[in-house]
């Protein structure tokens, strides 16, 4: 296959959702529809053992969750679909956000009984900031949930994105008859056996189904026709450009658990989800996916699951060119040249032939400390540095100290390396020089503690400080007397001054008192 065809066949996306909305269930369905050609890591070990990996960290085994995200590749209808998992639940972290920097579109899964939940909103905002297309799957229609019209309105009101229903549910729960499918001009039935063994029936010119079928006897069908009519007349207009710009989300309904509506969703997703596009460098230059030069950036570094081995895995999103095992690349930041001979499981599955990895694909490189998050690697002579990855404002904080003063050295070394991986952020209190760790999710602290002990033999004490609001200020605005009992003045690891506010009230109070000081957040 030519490079052009390879790249055009790639669809790289992440699923964003609040815990329990059905991300795992729909991922498993997608893997079933396609021939799963490679899976690295797990979907989540807890329900389906077949996706679980044996050498997961102890902490993951204990909790039955995955600490870090993984990549699944599925072949479907001639396309290579890359699903990049976004860790949720307690393992929600900076990694979850950064994964969204490596995908070309996102699928937002919403529980029809719950609507938009907090984590969905946070993840949506990161996607929205990138302007990537967002596809919505409203899940669990086999159960009674909220009114579909109300859910659509919530998408627009809470997330501020226009919504366009591609299909419409005919009932829900026990009365779920199927989908009135405006995109495919048909109805899709949940109970073909009651309707002459028809899964699908075409719509006539009036948007109705001809013939005598069981489902048509229900008032639910009439209601769906009425709703659909309303949508056509009063709803948003479909615009492919708006979808591509992330300004309009196509909405699908279904049930991941029963698999109903998932393939219909997948087919339309394949039609509209973008293939990899050009990526901007630091200098504003665009690197096209078809350029011959191999380029990629590191969006995640994961510790080796086996504590006996110190090495780590760096996840690279390929942006241009073609990856070949053993190729020579340079790390732009350090100018270090290296041979990419040790790639991970994404390249080496059970198949005999190693498939080509091109723009849109994600490869894992064994790392012995050469890479940092945000690094660009390139082949050939022309140095390339992609735009820096955004930093995310941590919300939870812990004081940390070495338990044993004799182990200070390994404590410092461990902290430095783990902070470099980007899973956790480090601060020092301005006045007393104590170490404070900040993270987006709680589990990061436990992982940190576990790894310091197991990999660096340093036992630490952690004192939870709860949630704080972190705001950065400019160095010239800094006056150490601004610090009070309601805020803690610190420096981050780049020596920038940052206040950790007790709560929003404390922050507003500060802002009133120092109107000239600009308080800045990360993302
Ligand atoms: P995740 O936390 O988003 O990965 O959610 P899971 O896929 O683990 O699903 C959470 C729970 O919801 C599980 O008990 C699933 O069986 C259930 N679930 C997922 N999809 C559906 C659905 O379409 N219908 C119903 N009734 N339950 C579902």
pLDDT in tens, 63-76: 333 333 378 878 89
Residue 468 main-chain phi, psi, to 5 deg: -140, 165
Residue 88 is assigned to a structural domain of this protein: no
3-state helix, strand and coil shares in percent for the chain, rounded to the nearest 5: 30, 30, 40
Ligand 1, closest atom to CA 44? 4
Element at 241 (helix H, strand E): helix 240-244
Question: What CATH number did the domain enclosing 496 receive?
Answer: 3.30.70.3280
Q: 350 and 326, same structural domain?
A: yes
Structural tokens at position 193:
């056996």
CA-nearest residue, atom 2 of ligand 1 = 20
Share of the chain above pLDDT 90, in %: 62
Same-domain pairing of 140 and 40: yes
Among residues 209, 239, 272, the one where a domain terminates is 272
147 and 292 in one domain? Answer: no
pLDDT digits (tens, 9 = 90+) for 66-117: 333 378 878 899 999 998 878 766 667 778 888 999 999 999 999 999 999 9
357/126 Cα distance (integer angstroms): 26
Least reliable range by pLDDT among 133-137, 179-183, 267-271, 386-390: 386-390
Enumerate residues lining ligand 1, CB below 6 A: 17, 19-25, 139-140, 142-143, 255-257
Closest CA to 66 of 50, 46, 80: 46
CA–CA gap between residue 98 and residue 300 (Å, rounded): 7
- The secondary structure of residue 353, as a DSSP letter, is S
Per-residue model confidence (pLDDT) at position 446: 84
H/E element, 408: helix 408-421
> Nearest CA to 92 among 363, 392, 342?
392
Residue 86 Cα to ligand 1 middle (Å): 16
Task: Determine which of 272-286, 421-435, 464-478 has the lowest per-residue pLDDT on average.
Answer: 421-435
To which H or E segment does residue 509 belong? Answer: helix 504-513
Residue of the nearest CA to atom 14 in ligand 1? 20
Residue 37, pLDDT score: 52
Return d(Cα 305, Cα 366) in angstroms, integer: 12
Asked whether the CA dihedral 239, 242, 248, 252 is positive or negative, the reply is positive
* Contact assessment for residue 360 and residue 7, using Cβ atoms and an 8 Å cutoff: yes
- Please check whether residues 124 and 108 belong to one and the same domain: yes
In a domain, 77, yes or no: no
Closest of 54, 37, 10 to residue 350, by C-alpha: 37
95 marked among binding-site residues: no
Asked if residue 233 and residue 285 are part of one domain, the reply reads no
pLDDT at 304: 56
The pLDDT score that the predictor gives to residue 448 is 87
CA of 20 to the centre of ligand 1 (A): 6
CA distance between the termini of the chain? 40
- pLDDT, residue 350, reads 38
Note whether 240 and 372 are same-domain residues.
no
Output the six-digit token pair for 145: 């949930």
End residue of a domain, out of 216, 244, 272: 272
Residue 243, domain member (yes or no) = yes
- Which candidate, 289, 287, 288, places its Cα nearest to that of 358? 289
Domain count within the chain: 3
The CATH number assigned to the domain holding 347 equals 3.40.50.300
Residue 367: beta bridge partners? 312
DSSP 3-state assignment of 248? strand
User: What pTM was computed for the model?
Assistant: 0.85
CA dihedral (359, 365, 371, 372) positive or negative: positive
User: Could you read off the pLDDT of 10-50 as tens digits, one per residue?
Assistant: 999 999 999 999 998 898 888 777 765 544 444 444 343 33
For residue 426, what are its two tokens? 């480090």
Q: Locate 262 and state its tokens.
A: 């998932």
Name the pLDDT band for 245 (thresholds 50, 70, 90). very high
C-alpha span between 350 and 293 (Å, rounded): 29
Tell me the mean pLDDT in the region 456-479: 93
404 compared with 60, residue with greater pLDDT: 404
Residues 173 and 221 in one domain: yes
Do 26 and 125 lie in one domain? The reply is yes
* Residue that is last in its domain, among 322, 345, 378: 378
**Number of C-beta neighbours around residue 200 at 10 A:** 14
Q: Answer yes or no: do 186 and 152 share one domain.
A: yes
Question: Is pLDDT above 50 for 155?
Answer: yes
Helix or strand or coil: residue 517?
coil
Question: Rounded CA gap, 268 and 363, in Å?
Answer: 27
The answer to whether residue 408 is domain-embedded is yes
Please state the rounded mean pLDDT for residues 150-178.
Answer: 96
pLDDT confidence bin for 422, thresholds 50/70/90: confident
CA 38 to chain centre: 19
- Ligand 1, residue 17: give the atom nearest the CA: 3
In contact, 502 and 486? CB cutoff 8 Å: yes
Instruction: Note the pLDDT tens digit of each residue in 197-216.
Output: 999 999 999 999 999 999 99
Residues 149, 294 within the same domain: no
Q: Is position 271 annotated in a ligand binding site?
A: no
**17 in the same domain as 139:** yes
Q: Please check whether residue 436 lies inside any domain of the structure.
A: yes
Residue 335 assigned ligand-binding role: no
Find all residues with CB under 8 Å of 349, minimum gap 6, and list them.
37, 38
Q: Which domain holds residue 401?
A: 396-513
pLDDT of residue 33: 78
* CB within 8 Å of 157: residues ≥ 6 apart: none
* 341-388 pLDDT per residue, tens: 766 544 334 333 346 789 999 888 888 778 888 999 999 999 999 998
- The distance from CA 93 to its chain's CA centroid, rounded to whole angstroms, is 10
- Tell me the C-alpha distance between 358 and 385, whole Å: 18
Q: Does the structure show a pLDDT above 80 at 170?
A: yes
Q: Whose CA is nearest to atom 10 of ligand 1?
A: 20
Please determine, for residue 249, whether its predicted confidence score (pLDDT) is greater than 70.
yes
- Do 448 and 420 belong to one domain? yes
Mean pLDDT of the chain: 86
DSSP string, 418-461: HHHHTSSEEEEETTT--EEEEESSTHHHHHHHHHHHHHH---EE
Query: Is residue 85 in a domain?
Result: no
C-alpha of residue 182 to centroid of ligand 1, in Å: 26
Q: Which ligand 1 atom is at minimum distance from the Cα of 255? A: 23
**Is 182 or 85 the better-scoring residue by pLDDT?**
182
Instruction: Report the nearest atom of ligand 1 relative to the CA of 89.
Output: 2
Identify whether the C-beta of residue 178 lies closer than 8 Å to the C-beta of residue 225: no
Asked if residue 492 belongs to a domain, the reply is yes
Residue 332 domain-assigned (yes or no): yes
Tell me the mean pLDDT in the region 277-291: 96
Tell me which of 22, 29, 114, 176 to substitute to probe ligand 1's pocket, judged by most ligand atoms within 8 Å of the beta carbon. 22
pLDDT score at 50:
37
Tally of CB atoms within 10 A around 177 = 24
Closest by Cα among 257, 246, 16, 252 to 118: 16
Percent of the chain with pLDDT over 70: 88
């Amino acid at each position: 296959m030519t490079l052009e065809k390879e790249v055009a066949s790639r669809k790289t996306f992440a699923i964003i959702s609040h815990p329990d909305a059905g991300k795992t269930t729909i991922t498993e369905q997608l893997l079933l529809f396609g021939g799963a050609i490679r899976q690295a890591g797990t979907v989540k070990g807890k329900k389906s053992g077949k996706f679980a990996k044996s050498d997961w960290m102890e902490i993951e085994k204990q909790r039955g969750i995955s600490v870090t995200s993984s990549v699944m590749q599925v072949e479907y209808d001639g396309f290579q679909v890359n699903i990049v998992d976004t860790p949720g639940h307690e393992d929600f972290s900076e990694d979850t956000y950064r994964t969204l920097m490596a995908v070309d579109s996102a699928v937002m899964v919403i529980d029809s009984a719950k609507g938009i939940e907090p984590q969905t909103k946070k993840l949506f905002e990161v996607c929205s900031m990138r302007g990537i297309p967002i596809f919505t799957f409203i899940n669990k229609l086999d159960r009674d949930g909220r009114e579909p019209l109300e859910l659509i309105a919530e998408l627009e009101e809470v997330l501020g994105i226009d919504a366009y229903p591609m299909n419409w549910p005919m009932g829900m729960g026990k009365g779920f008859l199927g989908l009135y499918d405006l995109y495919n001009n048909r109805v899709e039935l949940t109970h073909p056996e009651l309707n002459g063994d028809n899964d699908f029936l075409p719509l006539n010119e009036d948007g109705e189904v001809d013939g005598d079928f069981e489902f048509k006897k229900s008032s639910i069908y009439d209601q769906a026709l009425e709703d659909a009519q309303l949508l056509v007349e009063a709803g948003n207009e479909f615009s492919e450009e708006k979808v591509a710009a992330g300004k309009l989300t196509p909405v699908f309904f279904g049930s991941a658990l029963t698999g109903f509506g998932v393939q219909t969703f997948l087919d339309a997703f394949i039609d509209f989800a973008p293939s990899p596009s050009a990526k901007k460098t630091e200098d504003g230059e665009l690197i096209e996916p078809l350029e011959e030069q191999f380029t990629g950036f590191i969006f995640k570094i994961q510790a080796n699951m086996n504590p006996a081995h110190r090495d780590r895995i760096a996840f690279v999103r390929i942006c241009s060119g073609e990856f070949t095992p053993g190729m020579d690349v340079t790390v732009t930041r350090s100018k270090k040249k290296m041979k990419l001979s040790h790639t991970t499981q994404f390249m080496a599955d059970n198949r005999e032939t190693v498939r080509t990895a091109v723009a849109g694909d994600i490869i894992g490189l064994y790392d012995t400390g050469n890479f940092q998050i945000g690094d660009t690697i390139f082949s050939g002579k022309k140095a390339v540095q992609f735009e820096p990855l955004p930093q995310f404002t941590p919300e939870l904080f812990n004081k940390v100290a070495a338990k044993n003063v004799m182990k200070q050295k390994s404590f410092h070394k461990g902290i430095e390396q783990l902070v470099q991986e980007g899973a956790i952020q480090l601060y020092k209190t301005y006045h007393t020089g104590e170490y404070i760790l900040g993270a987006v999710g709680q589990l990061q602290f436990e992982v940190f503690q576990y790894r310091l002990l197991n990999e660096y033999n340093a036992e630490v004490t952690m004192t939870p400080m709860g949630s704080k609001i972190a705001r950065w200020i400019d160095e010239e605005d800094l006056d150490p007397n601004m610090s009070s009992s309601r805020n803690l003045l610190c420096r981050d690891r780049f020596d920038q001054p940052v206040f950790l506010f007790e709560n929003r009230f404390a922050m507003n109070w500060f802002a009133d008192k120092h109107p000239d000081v600009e308080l800045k957040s990360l993302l």
